[in-house]
Amino acid sequence: MVVRVGGDLDCRTAPDLQELLTTRLSSMADTVVLDLSGLQFIGVAGLEVLVRARRQAGSRGIGLRLVGGEARCLRRALLAADLTDSFPCCATLQEALATVSGRTRELRAVG
């Protein structure tokens, strides 16, 4: 399952993504790919959503893959929050999907 996020991920948009990810990570999916390559900005609220998603995915045995692409803001935010080891990012969606077996379904999220 692919969830694409673009634009700003901040206190205004983070609750929408949190709701979507909570639903997706409660489903029967084996892996959720979160494509953040379209982000222009990520704030603390956005990072909190990622941390919660990682915890939820881990507790349910679901793989969580992040696609960072050209989103420099994501790399900077993960580095500033000392989360780079917790969230290894794939450079492209194709790279992330190559690690996933089975069928994928794509969804658009915030942004």
- Please check whether residue 1 is in contact with residue 103, taking contact to mean a CB–CB distance below 8 angstroms: no
More confident residue, 76 or 108: 76
What CATH number has the domain bearing residue 50?
3.30.750.24
pLDDT of residue 41 exceeding 80, the answer is: yes
List Cα–Cα distances, 47 to 52, 100, 102, in angstroms. 9, 24, 28
Question: Which pLDDT does position 57 carry in this prediction?
Answer: 94
* Average per-residue pLDDT for the chain: 89
Of the candidate ranges 16-25, 37-46, 82-91, 102-111, the one whose mean pLDDT is the lowest: 102-111
The domain tally of the chain equals 1
Radius of gyration of the chain (CA): 12
Residue 69 is part of which domain span? 2-108
| pTM > 0.95 | no
Question: Which pLDDT does position 111 carry in this prediction?
Answer: 54
- Please check whether residue 1 is in contact with residue 35, taking contact to mean a CB–CB distance below 8 angstroms: no
What's the CA angle centered on 4, arms 84 and 54, to 5 degrees?
A: 40
